[in-house]
Structure 1
Amino acid sequence: MNSLRYDLLRDEYVIIAPNRLHRPDMVYEIKTKYPKVCPFCPGNEDMSEKDILRFEKNGKWVLRVVPNKFRSLGIENPYYFKEYEAGSYGAHEIIIDTNRHIKFFEFEKEEFINLFKAIKLRYFDLKNDKKLKYFTCFKNEGIKAGATQSHPHTQILALPLIPVNKLKELERYKTFFEEHGKTIFEKYLEIEPLRTFENDEFCSFAKSLQVCF
């Protein structure tokens, strides 16, 4: 059974998920350009679990959110904390970004809007579960990034704890603000002018590549 295990050497929890060894691996098919039936394409809905969220247009779905069939954490799993182990309670979901079998950079504007809207809706829904403490989403695009499915999709994880590195990160932000009277992001953008978009509500920026010695 999956579980969260406390790593005494690193002072952090890790997810042990043996069931993910059984994921279908389409890397070979992607490389040879002879893919098997895609579980995320229209018409193959029975290959994934029941929809949590669905966007439709003209009577057809354009985005679906489903529980990850090979999830590392699940709402149906036990919730507990012991000295060096915790249950595998949480959420592990898949956003099927679009009904089109394309690359991420080929998205149309509406597909990007749908994706971010879905992330927002799932965040606020999962936030209602008081046992969940941390939400993150990530995307693996392409074989080199570790993707085993070529259809564009995004993964969501909601954990019953906040990762240690994130707690340290938040503490650093808090300390910086108390010492300098401005956020660490304001200072960062003074040093690294890497804004990609900005309006009255938010600013997005590209993080610079750093090599540490």
Structure 2
Amino acid sequence: MAAPQTTETPSQGAAAPAGSLGRALFWPLAAAGLGMTLIYHSIGSPADDKPPAPPAAAASPSAAATSKATPSASPSLPRSVPTRLRIPAIAVDAPFTPLSIGASGRLDAPPPNDKNLVGWFKDGVTPGERGASIVAGHVDTTTGPAVFLQLRFLKPGATVDITRADGTVASFAVDTVETFSKADFPDKKVYADTPDAQLRLITCGGNYDRKVKDYEDNVVVFAHLDSVKKG
């Protein structure tokens, strides 16, 4: 279910440095060229702001892969759902929950009462498959700082390990960590189809706007599949 509406400001929001905390999020999803548009909004967003769900072709896990005429030489894996995320550099060790499009037409957020939980868009590619796999997490919940509090501090070369249900561990190497304004979010750069296995880790960042009850930016980690091992 999507996060409930609230009028509270984020915990520590008044004293925290800009971008250090976020609030439970709403994530609308819409088609964007060959990729997907997944724009993050706080729980204070207007209730009538409901972008449509993506077309079936855009949401299908295999659609992007089957459209490629020439396979990539980069490593990739068959489909298998993720079960755990580990990022040693920022002490992340969290289980996954699948995220889907809710009745509102938005991608449901991870439960706001669990500070150590990440979600993945279950109708997209799984981590390790060819394409850009989407993983989202809160930086703050109603109970305090959450799983992606320090995501913005990751550096290029850092390792992101995702354990999958088939027993494999897909190890991703961070390429860049970028911050984008929600008002000018580069949908194609973040969500466009890729010929190799890539990963996007997304959370809120930037200044908190008390008037609209939303953070102004998104922090996005771009990473590529570097190696595969048995769990």
TM-score by length of 1: 0.30
Q: Which has the higher contact order (CA 8 A, sep 6+)?
A: 2
Q: Which structure carries more helix by proportion?
A: 1
Flag the structure with larger Rg: 1
